[in-house]
Chains A and B, each alone.
Chain A
Amino acid sequence: MNTVKVEGTDKGHVLLLGLSTCIWCRKTKEFLESNNIQFEYVFVDLLESEEKDKVKETLKKWNPACSYPTLVLNNSSCVVGFDEEKIKLELLI
């Protein structure tokens, strides 16, 4: 998966699946940035169809509703939507 990497404090692997037009995805990204979290993100709406399908399959595994933003943490849990409290808990912020 071609992701954009953002440097910061290592709190494990943090992957944000989002849409470039989605304000909640933007808020999630800004929240991670403002808390100096190291993460990777991908805007699924900007991908070419083949890559898009692959990422959608990955998303479906974590979040069957296939909604955005979805934050995959350490390849073991996920947070759906911009749920600030839950993200804080999961990332110990």
Chain B
Amino acid sequence: MTLTPELRGKLIEAVANCVIQHADELVALDQAIGDGDHGLNMKRGFEAVLADLDKTSALPTGEALKAVGMALVMKVGGASGPLYGTLFMSLGKALPEELTVPGIADAFAVAVDAVKARGKSDAGEKTMLDVLVPLLEVLRSGADDLPKRLHVCATEAAGATVSMKATRGRASFLGERSIGHMDPGARSSELIVHAILKVLTAA
């Protein structure tokens, strides 16, 4: 399939609004184990994305993703800007115009590797990668019942960060005390995936 400009617009808008609506929750999660800015930073970034919505959704999907990524890089103000910015920009570069599940999985693999390089991190360190890496495994495992499995995977993977000890980012300063709280970046990744799936399954 290829995305229509209308569907692209809906996807970008849904993701942005979902993050913006959950800003307070992300702030609270980040106050527990970080510096408390994740929700406000992501809100500022996605407000910038919304401001360019019409222009961005008229672009081909790859270019639109790059534009979303660049807005996040320039406007977020914290590490999540370059991290999510890199995710979207790399995905935009790698995604084929004609979308297939294997094609999306390959492009997502490139994007996840780029996030690992940008954050000098990998799964297991209580970060957004603890959601992205399991999602990639689900994408790789075939198309059957995919939206449902991705939805469940995102929820479970974000939930699994609660019991992890942070070894990367500001939360790592807390050591053992980071255990018992969900990672805010994992939660925002979960929210973004759920917003995308909601639009796609309704389309």
Partners in one complex: no
Binding site for B on A (CB under 8 A): none
